[in-house]
Every structure is written in structure tokens, then in C-alpha cells.
Structure 1
């Protein structure tokens, strides 16, 4: 667990592994943060309709050494305005523009901060090395995650690493079964559970193609199938999830981190390719103006 991550982030990342009794405590903390600051273990257990033992177990699962430390961390989060649940409420009918701006800004900053806090340097190093030594980079994602796929493709193409971007298994699968052993498949999925991305990863593994993935933090099927996995924070989207705003922002932030680290490790080659890419685009624009 990452030391700088908020209590909310720790809870969301661990939630899939919690028992029912632990989840009751976790949910209470998420929705009553200010009150929890003044509670004892017994008081929290009673308020959450759980048990003192469950409070202690949850604290340990969050990689926090004591309930006292949990309250200190929670207080720090609130001071930094990192965890107000109201910032993640659904948009209301006829809501003022100022309220919508505040909600989106607070939520976006939290998703980006928690994603950067939990970046695993070893995982990013392995991913970057895999791309450097790859012959071709296939990228796959569906729905909103395809926007992240296009982002990756555009970035790496500009620095001389051609990519193949797909959001359709009918197009991707024939490429995978005919790929070489030095090719890499990078799969993007917030949940890590979409049937399409799992089939893509399973097919790549069957044909001995290295699989790397970008998913939200936590135990998910895609991460388990991957040779290398990197993770964003668990975004607190509203229940209606009108748009996948937070998950996309987190994905884009992590992609930027990986990309700039990649460029720093391949600086001379990437800088030269970037100059060439810029020159040809400028030439095209000047031609169009004539």
C-alpha cells in the first residue's frame, strides 16, 4: 500500500477483498469521515453495525498500524479537502454551474493525486522496457477506454514507435494470432473485467504474446492475466456514472507518466523522431495554406 494514499483511496482499493463485516465499517468511514475522527473502536463498530474485531482487521487490511493512525490520516485528508463525499454526488436537476465546477474539480484532483501516489516504479520500468524491446505494440480497449488507447497510439507514433490500435476483436484477433513473439499487447480497461478485453488477453497468452494492462487498482481478472500490470486509483464515480470522467482522467495521467518516463529512457531516439514528426506536420500545414 502506498503511504501517501488517502484513507478513501485505501478503502476503495481494498474493498473487493473485504468481508461483509469489514465492508460495513469501510462504508461508514467513507460516508461519516468527520464523525469517525471522534470515535473509539467500539463506537465505530456499533455505528457501523459491525464488531470491534472487524474495525481492527480493516485497519490492518488498509496497511495502517493502528486505529489512532487511521484517524490521524483521515484528519489529514479532510484538512487537504481530499475526501468530501459530496464532491462525488450525482449532478442534480437545475444545479448551479458553480456547484458542478467545484464537484468536478475536486473529484478530478483527487483521482489524479491518488493515481500518482500509488504509481509502482518497478511496474512502470517493466512496462517501458517491454515496449522498448517490442517489435510491434498492439493496443486494445473498448468504450471509454478506447480514448486512452488512441492517446497511447498518438503519443508513441510521434516518437517513432508504430502502434496498432483497436477496439474491435474482429480486427484485433487475426493480428494477435499472426503476431511475433517480440510483439506486445497493451490492454486498457478500468474494471479489468470486460469480456472483450479478457478474451483479447487470453488469446495473446495462448499465442505467447506478452500482455501488459492498465486497470484500476485491485484484484481483477485482466491484471491476473497480464505479464505486467499498472494501475490507476479506484475512481469514486457517481452512481449514475453519466460520464467516465474520473477513470479517464486517471488513465490519461498514468499514460502521461509512463510516456514521459519512456521518452527519458530513449531520449536521443525519441527527440529525433519527434523533430521529424513535427517537421512533416508543419510541412503539411504550410502546403494546405498555399
Structure 2
């Protein structure tokens, strides 16, 4: 993955869970000492983080940079263009107004991070794939299952054959019956759910095109994908669920939905008119 200058800090956050302990020490140091890092050499950074020189070089390349100088250039560009937003965690003594303000700000920051992380060439490929698929299977568990259900509901408006599954056995059955003419959308915050990866492997063996929406671009699930769309939320540690990421993954599906609507405007508008006419009959 080629990292453009403004992508640096979001890329560190997105890849953080996939870094080794040694690499995380480097990431933590960079995020905490952004001013100091600009004048440091590889040996100095290695010394301050308790690592070998080779670990620092490997860390830079793992994030998509050619080396430390490339990473520092990216960092300087990021800070000069907009700076890094302060992460805001929730504390037990916070008022409801504080809680709302922090959650809303973290979601906003997460959306801006995602805008920098998104591969728009991959978005285009996903739109083309979904527009021409014979059928679309959507897989996810837990919070991600709500994103999958939203995809199913919205994509039905195009007249697509689309179905969301949140049961491992149903997923496996569905995946085994897919063909090279079909597409899969797999949604996972962590990209590490074993059952979902099993399902995707079955779908891949069936020849279906795999589109993954995740918060971790270097996760095991992303490695199985033909197309990976990465979006990350700044989660508050007060809660265990990936609340912000769920909303951000929905925002990514909104981009896909709008892209498909733009690709087939006549079909979209005709279907919307039919849908509104039918729903109007059910209102008082």
C-alpha cells in the first residue's frame, strides 16, 4: 500500500492491532513525540523504543513507507495540513453532555481518518463488481451484522439479489453455493473472526469476488479479500463494542450505494418511485 503524505497518522492507528509488541512501541513513541521524531535517526529511534535498527526499518515498510525519511515526510505533511485531533475518552464522572460531545467528536474524527484511508480505486472496483454480480451475499457477526442488514435493505432498492447472513451455518451453506458470477461483502471491525474467515474461504473457493470492509487493513480477513475497504473509528475505551466503527462502516456502504446509483441512474430512480408508491399505500 502506497502511503501518501496525509495518510500517515490514520495508517498507524489502523494497523496498530496488527503490529508486534516491538512495533507498537515505535508507533506509541511516534504518536506521543511527533515533534521529536522529526530530527531522529533510525539508531536514535531504535534506542528510544528499545528496538533494533532493523525493527524500525521493518516498521516503516510495514506501514507502506520506503524508510524513516519517507515516514517523517509524511508526518510533517500531516501535521502542517491539519494536525492530529485529540482522542477523547469517556470517564465515569462525565456528564451526559460530555459523553455526547466526546462520542460525536470521535465519530467525526474517525470519518475524517477514514476519508484519508479509503482507496478510491478499490471503491470503483467494488461498485463495478456489485453492479454486475448475479447475486450478493453479505456476511458478518455481532455489531457488524447490523451493517450487513443495512446493506441488504439498501441494495434491495436496485433490484439486486442480495441477502445478509449472521449465522455461521447459513453463511457456510450460502458460500458453498456461490459462483464466479457472485460477490461477497464481509464486514468485520477486527478482521479476525474465525467463523467469518472460514466462510470467506469457502466463498473464495467457490469463485466469488470477496469485498471486505474492516478497520484493520492488514488483518487476516483483509488478506483473503479481492477488494479491501478500510474505515476506522476512534473507539472509546469505556465501552467494549466498536460503536464508532459500525457507523463508519455504514458510511463506507453509503459511498458504495451512491456509486451504484450513479452508475445506473434510470434503474435507481425507477425503482425508488415504485418503492415509494407501494410504501405510500401503507401509510394512514
Smaller-chain TM-score bracket: 0.7 to 0.9
Aligned residues of 1:5 and 1:114 also touching (Cα < 8 A): no
What's the counterpart of residue 264 of structure 2? 266
Deviation at 1:101, TM superposition (A): 2.8
Tell me the CA shift for residue 32 of structure 1.
4.2
Q: Partner of 1:189 in structure 2?
A: 188
1:186-225 → structure 2 map (5 Å cutoff): 186-225=185-224
Aligned to 1:83: 85
TM-score (structure 1 length as normaliser)? 0.82
1:11 aligned partner: 12
CA distance in 2, matches of 1:174, 1:53: 46
Q: Deviations over 1:248-279 (max 9, x none)?
A: 12201111111101110111111111111111
RMSD of the TM alignment (CA)? 2.9
- 1:99 deviates by 2.6
Cα distance between partner residues in 1 of 2:40 and 2:226: 43
In structure 1, runs of 5+ residues without a counterpart are none
Which digits, 9 at most, give the CA deviation of each residue in 1:78-114, with x for residues without a partner? xx463313x1x2x211212333233222211121112
Provide the rounded CA distance (Å) in 2 between the counterparts of 1:222 and 1:150. 20
Tell me which moved more, 40-49 or 92-101.
40-49
Write the distance in 2 (CA, Å) between the matches of 1:180 and 1:30. 45
Structure 2: which 5+ runs fail to align? none
Q: Matched residue pairs, number? A: 279
Asked if the contact 2:10–2:116 (Cα under 8 Å) also holds between the matched residues in 1, the reply is no
1:91-106 equivalences in 2 (<5 Å): 91-106=90-105
Given the two structures, how large is their TM-score scaled by the length of structure 2?
Answer: 0.84
1:24-44 CA-to-partner distances (Å, cap 9, x unmatched) read 2211222344x5378644776
Does the 8 A contact of 1:6 with 1:82 survive in 2?
no
User: What SS is found at the alignment partner of 2:186?
Assistant: strand
SS of 1:284's equivalent in the other structure is coil
Pick one of 65, 71, 77 that aligns with 1:73: 77
Structure-2 residue corresponding to 1:177: 176
3-state SS of 2:282 partner: helix
Map 1:83-162 onto structure 2 (within 5 A): 83-85=85-87, 87=88, 89=89, 91-162=90-161
